[in-house]
Amino acid sequence: MIKNVTPKELALYSSLSIGAIVAVLATLGLLLNFVEAAWYHILIMTLFTSIGAYFIITNALKRYIYRKIKLIYKSIHSMKRSKTDKHAIDLNSDIIGEVEQEVSDWADSQAKEIESLKSMEQYRRNFMGDISHELKTPIFSIQGYLHTLLDGALYDENINMDYIRKAAKNVDRLQTIVEDLEEISRLESGKLMLDIRTFDLKKLCEDVFEELELMAQQKKISLNFKEGADQTFKVDADRDSIRQVLVNLISNSIKYGKEGGNTKISIYDMANVILVEVADNGVGIEENHIKHLFDRFYRVDKSRSRIQGGSGLGLSIVKHIIEAHQQTVNVRSTKDRGSTFGFTLEKTK
């Protein structure tokens, strides 16, 4: 009965208790001849005492609760005006219980915010470390080749052109990293303006196959469509952005595919969306790496990845582009058997 009691109920119980005490004392006084009064006098006195006590206690509780709640709300709402106002306190409600619940909710919210800030801070530190490492590698390589040339190797015809080519290759890699960082920044800031148009997804895949044909031939990897994907699939999306997604996924399948292997594109009509899958029979990815694949600068095999080139931001860009289309991207892979990357696009109605 006492749990979750309202202020008015507390005032009522308290006033009745005070009235009862007064009645008992007056009755004892009457019985012991300490008080000369009639029984109805005791009844009237008890009634007025209870009523007076009720109003006094109610007013005191109202003032006390208002001051305490105002202080609590000022604390948890950064000195903003409390939603529980002096003129809005309802003594018929469980005010303390409501405040307790709001403070609990506020504490939970603060804990989540602190946890989020800690996570962001850790992510920022990791990112700064990753970007420093990624930029340092090509810069040190360029520096080494150039200083060697300046120290006299420039006049050595056996190595001068080779060193210049290697320095240029690292400059290209540095430029790729910077351009991809700019792309990531643009995507994360929400500044990517999608030019949504209807186009044939299969035709776009064929264009990307043609673009990457030479790269595939160098590893004797065949690029083709899975059975059932040899038809027209109309989607509503930003064609240039989706082309970038396909180039990233297909070029990755070539880089990490087995020599003489194959890369296949599957396209499925899934009612409201079109599902695109890029599959290879390459080296595959271990399970513990799957959840990190779309993180910036994450590399499964760091040494091999840098030899293959790239900025380490390709899959992160893929994820941002697909999410900008309000669609999903996923991956499944088996070590030494290959990987399949899939994403959805809105189907043309």
Per-residue pLDDT of the chain (349 residues), as tens digits, is 455 667 677 777 788 888 788 777 777 776 766 656 666 677 777 788 888 877 887 777 666 666 666 666 665 555 444 444 444 555 555 555 666 677 777 777 777 778 777 766 666 666 666 677 677 878 888 999 899 999 888 888 888 899 999 899 888 888 877 877 777 777 777 667 888 999 999 999 999 999 999 999 989 999 999 887 778 899 999 999 999 999 999 998 998 888 889 999 999 988 889 999 999 988 888 888 888 888 777 766 654 444 455 567 888 889 989 998 999 999 998 888 889 999 999 999 8
**Domain boundary residue, one of 188, 204, 228:** 188
Judge whether 279 lies within some domain.
yes
In a domain? residue 103: no
Residue written as token pair 């994820």: 319
Residues 327 and 250 both lie in one domain: yes
Same domain? For 159 and 201 the reply is no
Point out the domain boundary residue: 42, 74, 93: 93
Written as one letter, the residue type at 91 is: L
Looking at the structure, tell me whether residues 261 and 307 fall in a common domain. yes
**Rounded to 5 degrees, what angle do the CA atoms 335, 337, 341 make?**
85
CATH number of the domain residue 135 falls in? 1.10.287.130
Measured at the CA of 232, the angle between CA 228 and CA 236, to 5 degrees, comes to 120
Does residue 303 share a domain with residue 161?
no
Q: Are residues 19 and 69 in the same domain?
A: yes
- Would 73 be classed as within a structural domain? yes
Phi, psi angle pair for 220, to nearest 5°: 55, 40
| pTM above threshold 0.85 | no
Task: Name 3's Cβ contacts closer than 8 Å, sequence gap at least 6.
Answer: none
Residue with tokens 């990755």: 252
Q: Per the domain annotation, does 106 fall within a domain?
A: no
- Cα gap 242→313, rounded to integer Å: 16
Answer whether residue 99 is part of any domain: no
* 270 DSSP β-pair partners: 273
Q: Is residue 340 in a domain?
A: yes
The token pair that represents 273 in the structure block: 């969306």
165 and 229 both lie in a single domain: no
Q: Are residues 60 and 77 in the same domain?
A: yes
**Last residue of a domain, which of 170, 188, 206?**
188
Which residues sit opposite 331 in a β-bridge?
Answer: 341
Q: What is the pLDDT of residue 123?
A: 60
CATH number at residue 248: 3.30.565.10
Query: Residue 26: which of 47, 46, 9 has the closest Cα?
Result: 46
Q: What is the pLDDT of residue 172?
A: 84
Which sign, positive or negative, has the C-alpha torsion 33, 37, 42, 48? negative
- Let me know whether 67 and 134 are in one domain: no
Distances (CA, A) of 327 to 249, 259, 288, 320, 340: 16, 33, 24, 10, 17
Looking up tokens 């903003």 gives 80
Between β-strands 234-238 and 196-200, what pairing exists: parallel, antiparallel or unpaired?
Answer: antiparallel
141 and 214 assigned to the same domain: no
In a domain, 152, yes or no: yes
Residue that has been written with the tokens 């305490």 in this structure: 68
Q: Domain tally for the chain?
A: 3
| Percent of the chain as helix, strand, coil, to the nearest 5 | 60, 15, 25
DSSP-derived pairing of the beta strands 273-280 and 338-346: antiparallel
Same domain, 70 and 137: no
Q: Domain range for residue 130?
A: 123-188
Residue 169 inside a domain? The answer is yes
Are residues 244 and 314 in contact, defined by beta-carbon separation less than 8 angstroms?
no
Specify whether 227 is located in the same domain as 332: yes
CA 26 to CA 35: how far, in whole Å?
7
User: Does 320 share its domain with 242?
Assistant: yes
